[in-house]
């Protein structure tokens, strides 16, 4: 009897592994087939989608595509929302509303809501669940439900080379300069100068770059060691596999 039970358990485990592999392989195929690119736009008709740009599947809410321009080699994660206009089907005029520069990365679950102009500069990286919006609810009239009052709308600009940490919120009217770091969970409004680090809610400058003195206050961690010129990917992999105890 124990032998039969062991055989049954082995068959069950084998079937489970087989089903697991089939499901995972099928999901990978669906992800590949459902991804959006310039060559395979599917139902989405963006105003522009650059070479090498890819929207992972499944996509989040996407509408107003004719007024959305995506640069080259952008990486848009799963469940990312990209919208132009307050609702689908609106005529937003001749100019694009939402622009992403080349090499922009939007992490999984991020939202970019552009009811008026939103521009994200080239090589800006956003962690997961970043929220960028040009619209905010107003509550001027205390007698009217907030959701029924006309919202406030202001353009948003995120400069090139920025890094927006997980869960950062960029509010209407925000203007981020070049190479700005936004800490995870920060809530940003107003103008942020070039080469600064902001944190908190509301966000404030906690570190900035001085051409003569460097970062102030000074960084607490050493600078990363750059990869030597001419090193190949194979050599990097071999280096990573070295046993540190043997060195």
3-state secondary structure of 151: coil
Separation of alpha carbons 113 and 134, rounded Å: 6
Neighbours of 117 (CB within 10 A): 18
Cα separations in angstroms, 144 against 36, 148, 151, 153: 42, 7, 13, 19
Separation of alpha carbons 3 and 99, rounded Å: 65
Cα separations in angstroms, 94 against 16, 44, 91, 132, 154: 55, 19, 9, 23, 19
Active-site residue among 73, 79, 111, 137? 137
Q: Is 40 known to be catalytic?
A: no
Half-sphere exposure for 177 (CA within 13 Å, toward CB) = 11
Half-sphere exposure for 112 (CA within 13 Å, toward CB) = 34
> Dihedral sign, CA of 44, 49, 54, 60?
negative
Question: DSSP per residue over 86-124, as a string?
Answer: SSTT----SS-SEEE-TT-EE-TT-EEEESS-EEE-TT-
- Using alpha carbons, select from 132, 32, 45 the residue that is nearest to residue 81: 132
Which positions are catalytic?
A: 137
């Amino acid at each position: 009897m124990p032998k039969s039970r062991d055989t049954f358990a082995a068959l069950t485990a084998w079937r489970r592994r087989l089903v697991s592999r089939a499901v995972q392989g099928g999901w990978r195929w669906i992800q590949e087939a459902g991804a959006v690119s310039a060559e395979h736009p599917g139902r989405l008709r963006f105003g522009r989608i650059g070479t090498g740009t890819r929207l992972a599947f499944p996509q989040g809410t996407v509408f107003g595509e004719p007024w959305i321009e995506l640069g080259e080699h952008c990486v848009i994660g799963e469940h990312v929302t990209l919208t132009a206009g307050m609702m689908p089907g609106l005529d937003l005029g001749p100019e694009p509303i939402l622009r992403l520069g080349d090499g922009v990365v939007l992490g999984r679950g991020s939202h970019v809501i552009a009811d008026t102009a939103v521009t994200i500069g080239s090589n800006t990286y956003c962690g997961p669940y970043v929220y960028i919006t040009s619209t905010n609810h107003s509550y001027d009239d205390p007698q009217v439900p907030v959701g029924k009052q006309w919202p406030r709308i202001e353009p948003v600009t995120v400069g090139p080379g920025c890094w927006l940490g997980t869960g950062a919120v960029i509010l209407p009217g925000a203007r981020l300069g070049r190479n700005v770091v936004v800490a995870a969970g920060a809530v940003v409004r107003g103008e942020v100068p070039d080469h600064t680090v902001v944190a908190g809610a509301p966000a404030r400058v906690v570190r900035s770059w001085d051409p003569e003195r460097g970062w102030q206050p000074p960084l607490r961690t050493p600078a990363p060691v750059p990869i030597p010129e001419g090193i190949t990917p194979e050599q990097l992999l071999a280096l990573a596999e070295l046993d540190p105890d043997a060195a």
